[in-house]
């Protein structure tokens, strides 16, 4: 490209194949749905934990913080992170 002379037209950018792009979107959407199915029990458990703590007399703020901390720890253990062991 650096040595292209003005008489040579610039190459046309390759247009993505619509079928390939649609397949990629569909695949990505199905992966997100699978993640949602897998993580829903953890979020439900955190909600139940928060409600149980409130029912036992804990303040709403403390219950929220404890449930959030527990949920963060669970998500850290079930979500693969490259380079972290």
Predicted pLDDT of residue 1: 47
Coil, helix or strand for 54?
Answer: helix
pTM of the shown model: 0.61
The full set of domain ranges for the chain reads 39-79
6 contacts 12 by C-beta, under 8 angstroms: no
> Is pLDDT above 70 for 64?
yes
Give the chain's mean pLDDT.
83
Write the pLDDT tens digit of every residue in 52-63: 999 999 999 999
Torsion of CA 58, 73, 27, 29, to 10 degrees: 20
Reading the block at residue 65, the tokens are 């913080």
DSSP letter at 81 equals -
């Amino acid at each position: 490209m650096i040595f292209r002379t003005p008489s040579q037209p610039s190459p046309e950018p390759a247009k993505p194949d619509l079928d390939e792009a649609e397949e990629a979107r569909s695949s990505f959407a199905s992966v997100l749905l699978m993640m949602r199915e897998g993580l829903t029990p953890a979020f439900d458990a955190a909600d139940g934990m928060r409600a149980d703590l409130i029912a036992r007399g804990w303040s709403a703020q403390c219950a929220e913080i404890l449930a959030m901390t527990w949920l963060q720890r669970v998500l850290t253990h079930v979500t693969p992170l490259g380079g972290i062991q």
